[in-house]
Structure 1
């Protein structure tokens, strides 16, 4: 699973719209949309906000396996 696919899956599991999640983590919804589409990668601060919101480690969030 790609990072973009994982973001989409996590958001849908919570029943949130892109605009709602973007507001919660403090970014614009258009920026968030580009992450779910795989067009851009988020900054470290955005990754941390997403990981904190979902209760995941950064490794888990970005689908990194050891």
Structure 2
């Protein structure tokens, strides 16, 4: 059973709609739908929130394949954020060095 199937089973077992679950997790109903159908996966924070809400461990929610996908997505997200931060710092330095000769 993959993450989406487990999530749907836990949600229906508790009598929650996708919209109610989304509200409790502070995500969109579309996100919950994608998670359940395999069209996407939650980030680590959302995954931990799901585990807390249903009182299960993250390990119980994920298969080995799901863990690999989650790790890959988190790594890409971190790399993208780091790259944007680096370019932002370069922009600030460029502006600072452009105005230094004026002083």
TM-score (norm 2): 0.59
Superposed CA RMSD: 1.0
Q: How far, CA to CA, are the matches of 2:25 and 2:39 in structure 1?
A: 19
Which runs of no fewer than 5 residues in structure 2 stay unpaired?
Answer: 65-103
Which runs of no fewer than 5 residues in structure 1 stay unpaired?
Answer: none
Partner of 1:32: 32
Q: How many residues align?
A: 64
Question: Relative contact order, CA 8 A, sep 6+: which one is greater?
Answer: 1
Describe the superposition over 1:3-48 as per-residue Cα deviations: whole angstroms up to 9, x where unpaired: 1111110000000000000000110111111000001011000000
Runs of 4+ in structure 1 off by over 4 angstroms are none
